[in-house]
Amino acid sequence: MARSKADLLQGTLDMLILKTLALGKLHGWGISKRIREMSRDVLEVNQGSLYPALYRLEDRGLIEAEWGISPEGRRAKFYSLTGSGKKALREERRSWELFSEAVQLILQTTQ
């Protein structure tokens, strides 16, 4: 993942994946494409981050996987949000907003 060709901020990848899956069942490759598109090419997930993150989320019971066929006709593993995944997304989002507003507060301080 890149922030302007630098690195992703730790902790946001999980939330972004959860959010992407909240829009619909999707496979790994598709998630990464979707994130790139939604962010207008600003955020780029790399596979070495993506797959470990997916397993992490699956282990924590936030998403679940099943094999299927992609729109391109290839075998692909489709992930979907579980109930606790939805809850986790709400929490991570709240805490992201809290955090980024706090940063914004600091950046706007003028004296």
Q: How far apart are CA 83 and CA 61, in angstroms?
A: 9
Nearer to its own copies, 38 or 76 (CB): 38
Nearer to its own copies, 72 or 105 (CB): 105
**Interacting partner of 105 out of DNA, its own copies, none (Cβ under 5 to 8 A depending on kind):** its own copies
Provide the residue type at 105 as one letter: L
Q: Is residue 93 near its own copies by the rule CB under 8 A? A: yes
Is residue 20 within 8 Å of 35, Cβ to Cβ? Answer: yes
Site string for DNA, 32-71 (x = CB under 7 A): -------------xxxxx-xxxxxx-------------xx
Site string for its own copies, 18-37 (x = CB under 8 A): -xx--x-----------x--
| Residue 90: both structure tokens together | 């709400």
How big is the site for its own copies, counted in residues (CB under 8 A)? Answer: 34
Closest CA to 82 of 107, 60, 62: 62
Instruction: Give the three-class secondary structure for 22.
Output: helix
Share in percent of the chain as helix, strand, coil (round to 5) = 55, 15, 30
Return residues touching DNA (CB under 7 A): 1-2, 7-8, 10-14, 27-30, 45-49, 51-56, 70-78
